[in-house]
Each structure stands twice: as C-alpha cells, then as structure tokens.
Amino acid sequence: MTRPTKSIAQRLLDAEQAINNTLSNPQILTAVTPFGYDQARMEAARALHAEARTLTDQQALKYGEQYEATQTVQKAWDEAARAYSTALKIARIAFRDKETARNALGLSGIRKQSLSGWLDQARRFYNNLLREPTFIAAMTAYSYTQARLEAELSLVEAVADASELQDIERGQAQEATQLRDAKLDELNQWLVDYKVIAEIALSASPQQLEQLGWVVA
C-alpha cells in the first residue's frame, strides 16, 4: 500500500470528520446505507478510529520512554566513564613496569567508542583489579581501596543495566510503531473506500459530501 502523504494527525482528523458527520446526519446515513454503510458499519468505523487513536497515543508514549531510557544510559555512562578514566590514569602509573598487570587490566591502547566495547574494557579493568590482591594493594597506595574500586565497578554495571532497559524500550517502541501503522493503514483504506461510496451516494448533494470533508469542485 502506498503511504499517505498527510500527517498522522490529519489522517485521524479526516476519518473522524467523515465518520462522525455521517452518524450525526440522518440524510447522509440514509444515503450511504444502501451501499452497505449502515449505522452498524459506521459505528464499527468509529471503533476502528478510536483504536487507531489509542495506538497512536501509545506509540508516542513508548517513544518517550525510549528517549528517557537513552538519556539514562548516557548519564550513567558519563558518570562511570569519568571514574574509569581517572582510575585508568592511576593504574598506568601504578603498574608502569608490570607487564602482567598492564595486560590483565587492558591498560594499553585507546578506549573503545562503542558502548559494548567500552563496557568490555571497563569490566575487564575493574574485575581483574578486584580479583588480584596485589593489584588492589598497588592501587590502595593511590587511595583506590577495594571499596572504592567496587563502587566504581557498580557504576559500570549500572551502565549495562540501563543499556538493557534501553533495548527493551526500543523494542517496545518499534512494536508500538508497527501496530499503529497497521491500524492507520486499515483506517486509511476504510476512508478511501468510503469516499468512493459517499461520492456515489451523495452525487446529487455536494454540500453533504463537503460535510464529510471532501471539497467538491
């Protein structure tokens, strides 16, 4: 199906006008009834419109939640990255001549820019620090106690948790968009079909056709 060029808000409004003005005008309803668009069918169209409106609102809500989740990830990442960056600088001094430690902690090279890459490096750094008592002892000389290192690891894990929630919100937002689009397509097709019927049924009453939202030349 070709996607309509009108905005979603305008598509909903157009359908609402055609449906409500048909139902509220006995003459129009009487004219279209012989073509299968009786009271019951128009009420069903009203229900279809209401469902499309609800799904549109829900989609907006889900994308708002996704946006909020994205902000939460970025905030948590910024906080953890600041702590990790400082600890990394200290570790590079503390283990300058300790190749085993430098390799275990991943001290060489640049930091990954992707979230997944950054998480891998940060987790490796803190987890291996906390697994080896001699590493902790070396860092303690620079005020990086075990408790501090554990607290900073918690910041890193908070980023991972926030990212997982973001993935869930993204999936829900995408699903909400698919449901909304499918229902809008259904509503749009109903309106296209109804316009043809209305033009036939109201061919002698162009003013009534305009009441449904279609301007007659």
158 phi/psi in degrees, rounded to 5:
-65, -35
pLDDT value of residue 7: 93
Q: Which positions ≥6 away from 5 have C-beta within 8 Å?
A: none
The span from the CA of 90 to the CA of 103, in Å, is 15
How is residue 1 written in tokens?
A: 């199906």
Which pLDDT belongs to residue 15?
A: 97
- Res 120: pLDDT: 97
Q: Is domain 8-211 annotated with CATH 1.10.287?
A: yes
Q: List, for the chain, all residue ranges whose pLDDT scores fall below the cut of 70.
A: 1-4, 217
DSSP 113: S
Q: What is the pLDDT of residue 217?
A: 67
The per-residue pLDDT for range 27-78, each reduced to its tens digit, is: 999 999 999 999 999 999 999 999 999 999 999 999 999 999 999 999 999 9
Count other Cβ atoms within 10 Å, centred on residue 117.
11
What's the pLDDT at 3? 59
pLDDT of 71: 97
- Please report the pLDDT score of residue 2 as a whole number: 54
- Our CA angle for 78, 175, 52, nearest 5°, is 125
Q: What is the pLDDT of residue 187?
A: 97
Domains in the chain: boundaries: 8-211
Confidence (pLDDT) at 216: 74
Q: Over the range 8-37, which residues count as b (16 or more CB within 10 Å of their CB) and which as e?
A: beebbebbbebbebbeeeeebbebbbeeeb
